[in-house]
Amino acid sequence: MLISLHEALEYAEKNNVGIAAINTPTLEMLLATIRVAEKYNIPMILQHAEVHEPINKIEDIGPVMVALAKRSTAPLVVHVDHGESFEYVKRGFDVGFNSAMIDASRLPYEENLAVTKKVVELANEYGYGVEAELGVMPGREDGSQVGSGESNETLYTDPDLAESFVRDSGVTALACSFGTVHGLYKAEPKLNFDLIETLRERTGVPIVMHGASGLSGAEYRECINRGVRKINYYTYADKQSFEAVQTFLEENPETFIFSDLTVPASKAVEENLDVLVNVLYENVIKK
């Protein structure tokens, strides 16, 4: 069933869990993600990032995401990830997405605020939630422009600015920069847990973590305990999928059918996400 971003975040707050928000640019990832949500009957967020448009356009994969979410026994949000303009977010709403992230974090503060406010106004007409970003996280959602993994305090989200940004924009949740990077880590990530707590208190809204691939279970738990409620995750699941296909090709060198590769690919995503949700939803998944 389709639930709102507000409902998913309320569930996270009540149960002290982090909602897994998974990019599903392909049908294999989409079906695998839904299987995991249904297995544990947990709320999850299906997302399509603008950077994934070359893989599948939101007008093509989007209606499939929405239809499968509505049909599912699990509570699911369908969310635009890293919409870089008002127009892209609107394209998501037009195909039935009920939540969006507007990412104007690369613009100066005032411009970021102006674009974000415009998106919040549109979302309010539908009663949808909006996530915005303040502070710049290195790397891109599709794993390109790999971050160094070294902490860079100049990029951290400023608590004073975060407080005024949330108050003036009216966003539902805020993506903050506190030491994670998009894509693969080359060095140990250095997370600033105290900053998460400060940002949560000052803004009064749930904090969103991007670049969550590659963290340890203990790091996830600590981030959740400090106020992270939505956890964007993608790269390592898709990497595991790729490796499963490589293994399949090695073991079946005579294969010449592309569609056969989608079976181990999807299964690998499911296995990867199964491990993830057992950490993020530790408090509600019965062992």
Name the site residues for Zn ion (rule: CB under 5 A): 141, 210
Provide the minimum distance between the beta carbon of 7 and Zn ion in the complex, in angstroms, as a whole number: 22
| Closest residue to bound Zn ion by CB | 210
Nearer to Zn ion, 107 or 285 (CB): 107
Q: Distance between CA atoms of 127 and 124, rounded to whole angstroms?
A: 5
Alpha helices (H) along the chain:
5-15, 27-40, 58-71, 86-94, 109-126, 159-169, 193-203, 217-226, 235-251, 262-280
Provide the minimum distance between the beta carbon of 41 and Zn ion in the complex, in angstroms, as a whole number: 26
Contacts of the segment 151-154: beta carbons below 8 A, 24+ positions apart: 151/179, 151/189, 151/190, 151/192
Nearer to Zn ion, 91 or 210 (CB): 210
Nearer to Zn ion, 200 or 210 (CB): 210
Provide the minimum distance between the beta carbon of 114 and Zn ion in the complex, in angstroms, as a whole number: 21
Partner residues linked to 19 by β-bridges: 230
Structure tokens at 148: 């160094």
81 catalytic residue (yes or no): yes
Check if the beta carbon of residue 131 is closer than 8 Å to that of residue 171.
Answer: yes
Q: Which helix (H) or strand (E) holds 44?
A: strand 44-49
Nearer to Zn ion, 141 or 219 (CB): 141
Provide the minimum distance between the beta carbon of 153 and Zn ion in the complex, in angstroms, as a whole number: 19
Structure tokens at 214: 């590659």
Catalytic option among 60, 81, 160, 238: 81
Catalytic residues: 81
